[in-house]
Amino acid sequence: MTKSALQIARAAYQPKLPKALKGTVKVSEGNPTQSIADQEAIQKLFPNTYGMPIIQFVESDEQVNYPAINVGVILSGGQAPGGHNVISGIFDGIKKMNKESKLYGFILGPGGLVDHNYKELTAEIIDEYRNTGGFDIIGSGRTKLEKESQFDKGYEILKELKIKALVIIGGDDSNTNACVLAEYYAAKNNGVQVIGCPKTIDGDLKNEMIETSFGFDTACKVYSEVIGNIQRDCNSARKYWHFIKLMGRSASHIALECALQVQPNVCIVSEEVEERNMSLDDVVTYIAQIVADRAAKGDNFGTVLIPEGLVEFIPAMKRLIAELNDFLATNAEEFAHIKKSHQREYIISKLSTENAEVYASLPEGVARQLTLDRDPHGNVQVSLIETEKLLSEMVGTKLAKWKEEGKYVGKFAALHHFFGYEGRCAAPSNYDADYCYSLGYTASALIANGKTGYMSSVRNTTAPAEEWIAGGVPITMMMNMERRHGEMKPVIQKALVKLDGAPFKEFASKRESWAINTDYVYPGPIQYFGPTEVCDQPTKTLKLEQTK
């Protein structure tokens, strides 16, 4: 591995730890817990891991002799900055308790457990990856651990390697599966503990006990850096509207956090679009009106932030897509015989009036894409829609109409960007480096104390690291029952942007001013070595949530 100068300098960074984790760790247990909803159903599904208390670690100078322990770790799903620090935190934690302890990494995600694909993570390997981005130390994968056959196959290798605890680093689904696995092994009484760690740049795995998922801070800062740069360009050239799509299909936390950081002219929040039952035309009109208002004062430039998942939050689009899925599934053969140039009319003639209207309003490219590209289950591939281009094209069309009607005087030229892969593997910010290391270290303490079915939890993270609170939260506590693929399943509730939450309210109180005035902020790149007010700030989202 050829290392950059920054990587070499950064390797020396010693992540901060909560006070309680510095000495010997003592467990303080709270009262029994309940799941956030559907208590009876969840309890029935998780008889061995339901109702456990919240755990907090407290300082202690008691000497404890921990036995050596073998631990396995899995990186599950999309990359997020800081994953390597979670792993080095686990490593340092179990080594501190007993230097004979060993850490094994399963290769390329949960599939590595099932396929018995692993490697031992030695001090030498770990040291190569401290404070670096990426998941390349062992790779990641999207295999879902759901079936008992997988659990049994996994147990074979755990037994062979004498692994007593498995740490699964993942998002809401992976942590749900971690809990199912914990329950399964507990029921089998096979002595394997399972601990989860909250990861996802999307920021949608959070609740009262999990303040934030790791990676969200760094990813949002990388996006805000480049958006800030684009805004400065926009404000210098004064002739383009930049439509910027941001990763995050299930929730708009990233777009909202970036908006709070860069103060764009427009930011669409999917959750609000859904809540207000806005149509695609409503969204387009909203943007076009701001373009027109700015043009009226001579400013034919601006920035628009768009969450990747927007289309799926627009109720009318959701209905259209549902009907298209059904229609094309049952009429695939007939449709295949329709001439390309007649497909649009054909589809319009077959849809219900409401959906036909929405379909007819779409630009040709998007309309075609909705009928042509379908996934293996026959569903429309919404993720392939270039929402940023869809919106700018429709805004352009609307403005042209307004121009004819004398309601708009200006020039509209659009540029498009999509940021996602740029931020998922950035080197973690100080915040994420510390938070991840603490999450990993906490996981090792949960293991040492015999816990299973817990998620590693580090809280109070807007305070200095010294004051952070480390502990564990029973995963069942975060669960409710939801319909997935037609079946009711116990799942961790996904955290969407709350319209009555402090971050959205802050944004909503400012957006009209940001829209018409040009009050861009240019956050610049993540700094690792400078003054603390530059280097050690958590996200605006978290700060606002904590000061409510």
Active site positions, annotated: 202
Q: Which amino acid is at 310?
A: L
* Residue type present at position 55: I
Task: Tell me if residue 294 falls in helix, strand or coil.
Answer: helix
Q: Shortest gap between Cβ of 38 and a copy of itself (angstroms)?
A: 35
The only residue of 26, 119, 153, 232 in contact with a copy of itself, by rule CB under 8 A: 232
Residue selected from 40, 333, 405, 533 as contacting a copy of itself according to rule CB under 8 A: 533
DSSP SS3 for 116: coil
| Binding residues for a copy of itself, total number by CB under 8 A | 59
As a whole number of angstroms, the distance between CA 88 and CA 110 comes to: 19
Dihedral sign from CA coordinates of 445, 29, 493, 158: positive
Helix segments in 331-456, DSSP class H:
332-336, 343-350, 353-361, 364-372, 387-404, 421-424, 430-448
Instruction: Give the pairing type, strands 163-170 and 414-419.
Output: unpaired
> Does residue 315 belong to the site contacting a copy of itself (CB under 8 A)?
no
From first CA to last CA, the distance across the chain in angstroms is: 45
Query: For the window 4-43, what string marks contact with a copy of itself as x by the rule CB under 8 A?
Result: xxxx-xx---------------------------------
Beta partners for 240? none
Minimum Å gap between C-beta 261 and a copy of itself is 8
The residue range among 94-102, 275-283, 499-507, 513-521 that interacts with a copy of itself, by the rule CB under 8 A, is: 513-521
Which of 238, 407, 411, 484 forms a contact with a copy of itself (CB under 8 A)? Answer: 238
Among residues 80 and 351, whose Cβ is nearest to a copy of itself? 80
DSSP secondary structure letters along 231-270: HHHHHHH---EEEEEES-SS--HHHHHHHHHH--SEE--H
- Asked whether position 2 contacts a copy of itself by CB under 8 A, the answer is yes
Residues 172-231, interacting with a copy of itself (CB under 8 A): 222, 225-226, 228-230
To the nearest whole angstrom, how small is the minimum distance from the Cβ of residue 14 to a copy of itself? 15
Residue 449 Cβ, how far from a copy of itself at the closest point, in Å? 31
**Diameter of the chain measured on Cα atoms:** 81
Residues 105 to 124 in contact with a copy of itself, rule: CB under 8 A:
108
Binder of a copy of itself out of 115, 128, 136, 357 (CB under 8 A) = 136
Which amino acid, 459? R
135 vs 327 by CB, closer to a copy of itself: 135
Please report how close the Cβ of residue 134 comes to a copy of itself at its closest, in angstroms. Answer: 4
- Cβ(69)–Cβ(98) below 8 Å: yes
To which residue do tokens 């899995």 refer?
Answer: 74
Binding mask 329-368 toward a copy of itself (x if CB under 8 A, else -) reads ------------x---------------------------
Q: Would you say 237 or 336 has its CB closer to a copy of itself?
A: 237
| Among residues 406, 530, 547, 548, the one that binds a copy of itself under rule CB under 8 A | 530
Tell me: does residue 60 bind a copy of itself (CB under 8 A): no
**Cα 26 to Cα 59, 61, 475, distances in angstroms:** 6, 9, 21
Options 526, 540, 541, 544; binder of a copy of itself; rule CB under 8 A: 526
Q: Using the rule CB under 8 A, which residue among 415, 481, 502, 516 binds a copy of itself?
A: 415
Q: Are 281 and 390 in contact (CB under 8 A)?
A: no
CA angle 156, 158, 159 (to 5 degrees): 65
- Of residues 419-438, which lie at the interface with a copy of itself (CB under 8 A)? 421-427
Could you say which of 134, 198, 248, 307 contacts a copy of itself (CB under 8 A)?
Answer: 134
Q: Is 537 in the site for a copy of itself (CB under 8 A)?
A: yes
Residue 416 sits at φ, ψ, to 5 deg, of -125, 145
The phi, psi pair for 377, rounded to 5°, reads -85, 5
**Nearest approach, Cβ of 541 to a copy of itself (angstroms)?**
16
On whether the CB atoms of residues 76 and 83 are closer than 8 A, the answer is no
Give the residue from 187, 219, 229, 243 showing the smallest Cα distance to 418: 243
Q: How far apart are CA 535 and CA 15, in angstroms?
A: 13
Question: What x/- string results for residues 365 through 394 when contact with a copy of itself is judged by CB under 8 A?
Answer: ------------------------------
Site residues, a copy of itself (CB under 8 A)? 1-7, 9-10, 79, 108, 132-136, 139-140, 222, 225-226, 228-230, 232-233, 235-238, 242, 261, 263, 341, 415, 417, 421-427, 519-531, 533-534, 537
